Amino acid sequence: MNRPKVLLTRRWPDEVEQYLAERYELTRNVEDRPLTADELREAMATHDAVCPTVSDRLDASIVDAGRGRLRILGNFGVGVSHIDLEACRRAGIVVTNTPDVLTECTADIAITLMLMVARRAGEGERHVRARAWTGWRPTHMMGTRLSGKTLGLIGFGRIGQATARKAHLGFGMQILYYSRRRAAPEIEAALGARFCPTVEELLGASDFVSLHCPGGAETRHLLDAKRLALMKPTAFLINTARGEVVDEQALAAALRSGSIAGAGLDVYEHEPRITEALFELENVVLLPHLGSATRETRVAMGMRVAENLDLFFSGRAPRDRVC
């Protein structure tokens, strides 16, 4: 019996690729470069499974190329806003993701960005590398502490709650959150969290605002110029969710004018392209989408995709089906 044909759109950790190669007819992206739209269409039309990442934009024209051949998209990551799920439903293509395994590492990056922008760590590191530092002095690069401040979380799923736990227990931060569904009372109590009924209320009350909501049409530019103006001038914005949640032009203007104190970004609206104005600002920390970038997590993500493929091709329900 022929083995299912599986394509990985990017390089994956070696042990995951080896596991898949032992079980499937595996097509690797040896050059580890982004596939073009035409290459993605060809992959969809010639494989039983395609395993994309957040950098692959699978719109209806690409999904439709797999109609009649492609059976499953095993997404390497939690978010699926880069995949046209309705087109997948019409084509009868199953979509899975990788929840749980990247929660802690992504929350770590949210905390990292909070510390970096509040304590001016990125700016300070650049200052030292430029050989501009002349020594310690009482008023040099004074920042803002995290301890005791109010953290507002927009989105309160696994990653949002993990961030809340680290911030509350580690730094004694007060936690506010906005979410479509209110958390259970015992979760609120454990995390010292208080529910805000509107985004606007949360923005006005928070010293740090951290985004943990999904991407997509509903949340595109959720943080626009109008909402950014509601934040305190001493407040910081952190985004480890999806780039399109923030209007980057409006954010750059707010940072430049000082209407907010700073921002820490790990994701971008038109990734990997970054709004040029952000490069000119010292009060923003820019990371290259490192949220899940630990060896342990990336291997676990790959093995979670492999588990979903194994279940699917053995006739059982995938563990993490989203469509």
Q: CA nearest 188: which of 153, 219, 240?
A: 153
Same domain assignment for residues 66 and 196: no
Q: How is residue 2 annotated by DSSP? A: P
What's the confidence (pLDDT) of residue 231? 98
Q: How is residue 35 annotated by DSSP? A: P
Domain around 46: 5-101+295-313
**What does pLDDT average to over the chain?**
97
Residue 222 counted as domain residue: yes
Rg over CA atoms, the chain: 21
Q: Which of 212, 242, 298, 304 is catalytic?
A: 242
Contact 133, 285 (CB under 8 A): no
What's the confidence (pLDDT) of residue 323? 94
Q: How is residue 92 annotated by DSSP? A: T
What's the confidence (pLDDT) of residue 209? 98
Same domain assignment for residues 153 and 129: yes
Q: What is the rounded CA–CA span in Å between residue 166 and residue 259?
A: 27
pLDDT at 101 over 90: yes
Q: Which of 67, 221, 289, 321 is catalytic?
A: 289
pLDDT digits (tens, 9 = 90+) for 22-78: 999 999 999 999 999 999 999 999 999 999 999 999 999 999 999 999 999 999 999
Same domain assignment for residues 131 and 244: yes
What's the confidence (pLDDT) of residue 215? 87
Residues with Cβ < 8 Å from 173, sequence gap 6 or more? 146, 147, 148, 149, 150, 151, 167, 208
What's the confidence (pLDDT) of residue 303? 98
What's the confidence (pLDDT) of residue 217? 87
Same domain assignment for residues 259 and 142: yes
- The number of domains in the chain is 2
Residue 36, burial from CB neighbour count under 10 angstroms (0-12, 13-18, 19+): exposed
CATH number at residue 109: 3.40.50.720
Q: Which of 271, 307, 319, 321 is catalytic?
A: 271
Q: What is the rounded CA–CA span in Å between residue 145 and residue 124?
A: 15
Same domain assignment for residues 168 and 121: yes
pLDDT digits (tens, 9 = 90+) for 120-154: 999 999 999 999 999 999 999 999 999 999 999 99
| Cα 151 versus chain centre, distance | 18
Residues with Cβ < 8 Å from 21, sequence gap 6 or more? none
| Cα 175 versus chain centre, distance | 21
Same domain assignment for residues 97 and 127: no
Q: Is 221 a catalytic residue?
A: no
Q: Is 127 a catalytic residue?
A: no
H-assigned helices in 172-284: 185-191, 199-205, 225-228, 248-257, 276-279
Same domain assignment for residues 191 and 92: no
Q: Is 321 a catalytic residue?
A: no
Residue 323 counted as domain residue: no
What's the confidence (pLDDT) of residue 307? 98
pLDDT at 1 over 70: no
Same domain assignment for residues 91 and 35: yes
